[in-house]
């Protein structure tokens, strides 16, 4: 294929490289995407835990508006509210901030802040303008959770508050409640934070919180007592009233103090247990010492005597009744009452030591108390039930010495110690009242009343006759005597004028005239008196009143 021409190669193509360029149109959405991404990252970083709290009601709470605060700092927000599965509560979902991680501890507490009026005054008034919010208190637990049971009222003490908690053992709660104040020398230094029955159910555990720095006044020998209500007593100075404050009267309260004889002045550790006494006097009194059981057997009803009734020795309380039971005597077919009691011999005071010295028994000896009661029984010690309240019929056991009491056997080795008894004062009183009623019932009231009615009728007739017949006649007679006296006075005056002024006869007539004048005046006074007091015809003239006596 060659025709003498050289074939020509195709021309080389002009290749030009193209450069990728970003249009300004894409810059705006790119920046927006970066900003959105950064916001998402920031929101993810700021997002905290989500917890769910159950309340009885969601009153005042609004999703997206109600805040969660701690020490008035916002730490979260309510995001959702819904009913629980059984419709008994409401479940409030809270989205906490990232820094609020501590509020997921297992013992964290949540409650709704509303306006309240309590023992501590009025609180939550700021919610009238800002609306209700949820307050939170972080706990100390190491465990975490996202479900909590909210409190229906604010806790009396929040975590981290300086002070100490102490546990008190009481027989019953009385009028105490959470928030009841705790006083020291009548200054409020704490409050009751919780209470509940102890494990055995025989008492109540009361937890109090004493704020710092006053918690240093609680020492190992400190005594707590119930300061609720008003303490009324009668002493040589008259009627005495005592109360810690008006709030303690209305809501109950607790007070504490340290006895003067206490040697332990070191502050007590937090969590120390104390006994809660019912009265201040009992709390601050010296120790009772070891108890000794005694038993008494009464042959009459003891209605009104119960466990806890006092046992007194010559007016000094030394114990209390621990049990009252019935026994049966098949020989006499009777039901005697057996009374067991705890007595504290050291409460006798100085007499206890002197009695032991008298019987030659040292203090702390194994048989000191039985020997002491043996000596007292030989001197006539007897137990009897007496009335402590005539209105309620309450009884107490009184141990008194009756030197003329008949001798009785006393077994020192017998336990509990047997104390001989005597009939109760109530029984004696009933017997006396029975005799009095019998005597009163034998009085012939009807016959006496009939006789009195007859006597009164006769007296009334006599008085009527006196007023109708005797009194007018007597008045007329006296008036006639008065006229006669006037005539005699006139006659004597005429005779006196006829005599010589210096003659003795005229002097005697003058004296006679004076006598007649006094008689006439007396007759007139008697007539006037009988008109005003006709009963004087029977009763005579009454003694003149003090105002009628001449000065």
Cis peptide before 386 (omega within 30 of 0): no
pLDDT for the residue numbered 32 = 87
Residues 6+ apart with CB under 8 A from 61: 78, 81, 92, 112, 132, 134
Q: How far is CA 196 from CA 152, 170, 177, 252, 270, in A?
A: 18, 10, 11, 16, 19
pLDDT above 90 covers a percentage of the chain that reads 4
CA–CA distance, 218 with 317 (Å, rounded to integer): 29
Contact 50, 94 (CB under 8 A): yes
Examine the pLDDT at 406 and tell me if it is beyond 60: yes
Tokens of 59: 């009153």
Lowest-pLDDT range, 156-160, 229-233, 390-394, 409-413? 229-233
CB atoms closer than 10 angstroms to residue 284: 16
Collapsed DSSP state (helix, strand, coil) of residue 238 = strand
pLDDT for the residue numbered 295 = 92
pLDDT tens-digit series, residues 123-137: 666 666 667 888 888
Lowest-pLDDT range, 58-67, 305-314, 387-396, 537-546? 537-546
Q: Is the pTM of this model over 0.95?
A: no
pLDDT above 70 covers a percentage of the chain that reads 82
Lowest-pLDDT range, 172-186, 310-324, 353-367? 353-367
Lowest-pLDDT range, 51-60, 112-121, 196-205, 256-265? 112-121
To the nearest 10°, report the CA torsion of 220, 223, 224, 229.
Answer: -160
Instruction: Return the half-sphere exposure (C-beta side, CA atoms, 13 A cut-off) of residue 260.
Output: 1
For the chain, give the mean pLDDT.
Answer: 80
Element (H, E) at 240: strand 238-242
Examine the pLDDT at 551 and tell me if it is beyond 60: no
Confidence of residue 111 (pLDDT cuts 50, 70, 90): confident
Contact 499, 506 (CB under 8 A): yes
Lowest-pLDDT range, 124-138, 152-166, 367-381? 124-138
pLDDT for the residue numbered 363 = 65
Question: Which span out of 283-287, 319-323, 343-347, 365-369 was modeled with the highest average pLDDT?
Answer: 319-323
Examine the pLDDT at 549 and tell me if it is beyond 60: no
For 255-281, what is the mean pLDDT? 82
Q: Report which DSSP code applies to 548.
A: G
Examine the pLDDT at 456 and tell me if it is beyond 60: yes
pLDDT tens-digit series, residues 283-310: 777 667 778 889 999 887 888 888 888 9
* Number of alpha helices (DSSP H) and beta strands (DSSP E) in the chain: 11, 25
Lowest-pLDDT range, 46-55, 111-120, 163-172, 290-299? 111-120
pLDDT for the residue numbered 455 = 83
Element (H, E) at 434: helix 425-442
Tokens of 83: 């009913």
Examine the pLDDT at 444 and tell me if it is beyond 50: yes
CA–CA distance, 346 with 84 (Å, rounded to integer): 62
Q: By C-alpha distance, which of 372, 376, 377 is closest to 359? A: 372
For 442-453, what is the mean pLDDT? 84
To the nearest 10°, report the CA torsion of 441, 442, 445, 447.
Answer: 150
User: What count of residues does the chain have?
Assistant: 551
């Amino acid at each position: 294929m060659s025709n003498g021409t050289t074939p020509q190669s195709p021309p080389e193509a002009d290749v030009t490289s193209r450069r990728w360029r970003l249009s300004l149109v894409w810059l705006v959405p790119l920046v927006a995407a970066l900003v959105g991404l950064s916001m998402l990252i920031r929101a993810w970083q700021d997002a905290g835990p989500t917890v769910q709290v159950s309340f009885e009601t969601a009153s005042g709470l609004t999703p997206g508006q109600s805040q969660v605060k701690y020490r008035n700092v916002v730490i979260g927000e309510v995001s959702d509210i819904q009913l629980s599965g059984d419709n008994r509560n409401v479940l409030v979902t809270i989205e906490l901030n990232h820094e609020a991680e501590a509020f997921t501890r297992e013992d964290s507490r949540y409650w709704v802040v509303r306006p309240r009026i309590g023992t501590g005054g009025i609180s939550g008034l700021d919610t009238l303008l800002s609306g209700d919010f949820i307050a939170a208190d972080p706990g100390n637990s190491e465990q975490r959770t996202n479900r909590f049971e909210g409190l229906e009222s604010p806790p009396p003490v929040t975590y981290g508050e300086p002070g100490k908690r102490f546990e008190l053992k009481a027989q019953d709660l009385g009028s105490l409640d959470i928030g009841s104040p705790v006083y020291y020398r009548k200054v409020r230094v704490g409050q009751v934070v919780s209470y509940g029955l102890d494990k055995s159910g025989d008492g109540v555990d009361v937890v109090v919180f004493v704020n710092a720095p006053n918690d240093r006044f609680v020492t190992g020998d400190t005594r707590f007592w119930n300061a609720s209500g008003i303490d009324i007593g009668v002493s040589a100075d008259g009627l005495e009233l005592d109360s810690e404050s008006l709030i303690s009267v209305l809501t109950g309260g607790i007070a504490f103090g340290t006895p003067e004889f206490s040697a332990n002045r070191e502050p007590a550790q937090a969590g120390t247990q104390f006994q809660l006494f019912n009265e201040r006097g009992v709390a601050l009194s010296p120790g009772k010492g070891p108890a000794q059981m005694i038993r008494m057997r009464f042959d009459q009803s003891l209605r009104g005597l119960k466990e806890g009734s006092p046992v007194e020795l010559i007016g000094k309380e030394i114990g209390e009744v621990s049990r009252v039971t019935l026994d049966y005597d098949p020989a006499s077919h009777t039901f005697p009452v057996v009374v067991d009691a705890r007595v504290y011999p050291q409460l006798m005071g100085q007499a206890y030591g002197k009695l032991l010295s008298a019987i030659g028994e040292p203090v702390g000896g194994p048989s000191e108390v039985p020997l002491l009661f043996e000596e007292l029984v030989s001197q006539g010690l007897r137990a009897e039930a007496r009335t402590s309240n005539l209105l309620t019929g309450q009884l107490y056991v009184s141990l008194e010495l009756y030197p003329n009491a008949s001798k009785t056997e006393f077994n020192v080795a017998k336990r509990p110690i047997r104390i001989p008894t005597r009939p109760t004062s109530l029984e004696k009183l009933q017997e006396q009242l029975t005799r009095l009623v019998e005597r009163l019932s034998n009085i012939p009231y009807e016959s006496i009343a009939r006789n009195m009615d007859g006597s009164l009728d006769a007296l009334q007739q006599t008085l009527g006759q006196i007023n109708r017949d005797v009194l007018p006649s007597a008045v007329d007679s006296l008036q006639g005597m008065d006229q006669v006296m006037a005539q005699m006075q006139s006659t004597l005056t005429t005779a006196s004028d006829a005599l010589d002024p210096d003659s003795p006869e005229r002097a005697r007539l003058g004296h006679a005239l004076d006598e007649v004048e006094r008689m006439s005046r007396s007759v007139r006074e008697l007539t006037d008196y009988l008109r005003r007091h006709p009963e004087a015809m029977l009763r005579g003239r009454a003694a003149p009143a003090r105002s009628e006596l001449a000065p």
